[in-house]
Structure 1
């Protein structure tokens, strides 16, 4: 067979094999697309209108009160004052409807309230929610906006149950929920939280390969174990950094010794010791074997440190004291359209990085005579 036939055979084989190789790349391309989608949609979709604060924030029973509502991302002038309704609400059945409403500008309106002589329950004071129903902005809520304290000398005929919250303007659009305090930083949900999902997936893959190495003593399994651990460590650091940036904005300091921050730092230090241990042996096989055992220990400590212990203590994070990390108030349907693709995309990127690192380790080992 001459060289021409060899070339034709090689080209023929490449034509047959190339499409199958491309099929194995689909998840990498999909991961990049999903991450770009999360980055763009996560930053461009606006927040729903909300109530930033109200003034005054305190009154006594029997008071006649003129309350200013200050909105965020609101457009109060885009509706007739007669179509806008505001309440100070105690619960679903007990609320006060604002009267003589005046729109001052897009972000400010005011209304008058007559506080009943009695509180809705036998306490020294109660907290009332502020609610605005606007024809174009929809419904805005600020919990615990106004405190009402009891004045035993107050007398008037106003009732808590005469104006319940009803006939609200429900506006359906593509927007993220407004959350007082965190404001626009709610977008960090798509970047900070997925880091911890990816970390868990990568460390899980790492410990699986460590167990496989202990069972069959194949160095390639050890390479994969260390590569996935390295990728997991990278995402853990990114999760910690994005969390500190978020904390600095919402809590006023990047590090507040919150239980989740502390447990995360401990978990990452445990895995840092894994990498130090790998470099501590001259015999690669012995180092790989002991590192695999340590990796099992590190992973077994990961779940309690990140997901169990923080729920046992008070925390500034959502999901503390046994509550689920995300509820209907934390993640609405619009956010889910970005949040879950972000997890999938970053997970794919993480596995891709681990795969690249494994290939580099194979090349390095071949250069020093290991296989």
Structure 2
């Protein structure tokens, strides 16, 4: 580890990856979508005009006349209703008119929310999953007659195209705050890698025996060096953990309405960090260096053993967590972390991790220098 710390290439890589994550994470726009739709409900058999407001859309861009919209009534696009007319006001506003059939394609359906598909040359295809709410008062005499109006105007092959611009996914309840993934989540990943290094050196300390130089001069032993590394990594891991908790609180304010809502993952994460805080309290309680290091190493192993179930297992077992990845709420799915976001997310995790190792290396060298100066006095 000491030889690796003295090399410079990975430090340059750490800075470049973090800068890349910051710049790309903040400047790449979100995918176009609909911000508002009015009205949100309609009756079968009537003509409804929807006033839509787009988000990062280019309705008046090149080929604006080729803009299309559909209401999709099934799991596939085979059952979809094409818009009768689209009037574009500006890049973000348009009026979309649909002539609704008398029946839904499924005679047994009483009510349904139809997602809205929109395709334009400047924006590609995007979907508003909330769409339009429709209630069916009476069922069609048979399924074939009910499906006919929806099949006759369905989406044809080649009409749906990918967004031509490089974008991040748009989530209605997250909006621009989805960018916090690069800071909140990546800091937690980096924290885990740093804590792994800390507990590894804690184990090394307990396994190593003291060494003395052949000349009989007092030196810092290999065992003590393992303790210094463990303390350094634990300190950086705590820093990343606190930063992750703070960025998560800010994110919660914008998505859940308050900085702290006692969500199960917020609560267990706080407990995990408090346990690690106890590591530093324990070390400060013992004046004897060897006793302090030995008990600190044992406690570090205990803290790491608590970290995994508190952060990853208990929240997933809970039935009421708001966090992705808990209670059946998917994490890192295509809508939360698509391929474009992965191009930023994974590099910045590596960047934060390398930065943490760099910070730990600086802390270790400062501690080592201090101890050597004390031994020479």
Work out whether the TM-score is over 0.5.
Answer: yes
Aligned-residue offset at 1:81: 5.2
**Which position in structure 1 is the counterpart of 2:352?**
346
Structure 1 residues 21, 285: CA separation in 2 closer, same or farther (over 3 Å shift)? closer
Following the alignment from structure 1 to structure 2, what is the Cα–Cα distance between the partners of residues 221 and 342? 28
**Which position in structure 2 is the counterpart of 1:161?**
151
Structure 1 residues 21, 301: CA separation in 2 closer, same or farther (over 3 Å shift)? closer
* Partner secondary structure for residue 89 of structure 2: strand
**Which position in structure 1 is the counterpart of 2:44?**
61
**Which position in structure 1 is the counterpart of 2:118?**
132
Extract unaligned runs of 5+ from structure 2: 210-222
Residue 356 of structure 1 pairs with residue 362 of structure 2: yes
Residue 102 of structure 1 pairs with residue 76 of structure 2: no
Compare 347-356 and 330-339 and name the one that shifted more. Answer: 330-339
Following the alignment from structure 1 to structure 2, what is the Cα–Cα distance between the partners of residues 208 and 182? 37
User: Which deviations, in whole Å up to 9, do the C-alpha atoms of 1:48-85 show, x marking residues without a partner?
Assistant: 21111211011233332111221001111114554111
Which runs of 4 or more aligned residues in structure 1 lie more than 3 Å from their structure 2 counterparts after TM superposition? 20-23, 79-82, 153-158, 366-371
Following the alignment from structure 2 to structure 1, what is the Cα–Cα distance between the partners of residues 92 and 260? 33
**Which position in structure 2 is the counterpart of 1:37?**
20
* Partner secondary structure for residue 184 of structure 1: helix
Name the TM-score, length of structure 1 as normaliser. Answer: 0.88
Task: Decide whether the 8 Å contact of 2:170 with 2:335 is kept in 1.
Answer: no
Aligned-residue offset at 1:345: 0.7
Structure 1 residues 153, 173: CA separation in 2 closer, same or farther (over 3 Å shift)? closer
Compare 200-209 and 106-115 and name the one that shifted more. Answer: 106-115
Residue 285 of structure 1 pairs with residue 315 of structure 2: no
Following the alignment from structure 2 to structure 1, what is the Cα–Cα distance between the partners of residues 109 and 264? 34
Name the TM-score, length of structure 2 as normaliser. Answer: 0.87
Following the alignment from structure 1 to structure 2, what is the Cα–Cα distance between the partners of residues 108 and 58? 19
Residue 256 of structure 1 pairs with residue 248 of structure 2: no
Superposition map of 1:1-371 within 5 A:
24-80=7-63, 82-91=65-74, 92=76, 93-121=78-106, 122-152=108-138, 159-166=149-156, 167-217=159-209, 218-313=223-318, 314-321=320-327, 325-369=331-375
Task: Decide whether the 8 Å contact of 2:182 with 2:345 is kept in 1.
Answer: yes
* Partner secondary structure for residue 326 of structure 1: coil
Structure 1 residues 291, 337: CA separation in 2 closer, same or farther (over 3 Å shift)? same
Structure 1 residues 225, 56: CA separation in 2 closer, same or farther (over 3 Å shift)? same
Task: Decide whether the 8 Å contact of 1:88 with 1:97 is kept in 2.
Answer: yes
* Partner secondary structure for residue 235 of structure 1: helix
Following the alignment from structure 1 to structure 2, what is the Cα–Cα distance between the partners of residues 335 and 370? 52
Following the alignment from structure 2 to structure 1, what is the Cα–Cα distance between the partners of residues 369 and 228? 11
Task: Decide whether the 8 Å contact of 1:278 with 1:287 is kept in 2.
Answer: yes
Following the alignment from structure 1 to structure 2, what is the Cα–Cα distance between the partners of residues 208 and 370? 29
RMSD (CA atoms): 2.4
Aligned-residue offset at 1:343: 0.7
Task: Decide whether the 8 Å contact of 2:123 with 2:164 is kept in 1.
Answer: no
Aligned-residue offset at 1:344: 0.9
Aligned-residue offset at 1:160: 2.9
Aligned-residue offset at 1:226: 1.1
Task: Decide whether the 8 Å contact of 1:53 with 1:145 is kept in 2.
Answer: no
Structure 1 residues 86, 21: CA separation in 2 closer, same or farther (over 3 Å shift)? closer
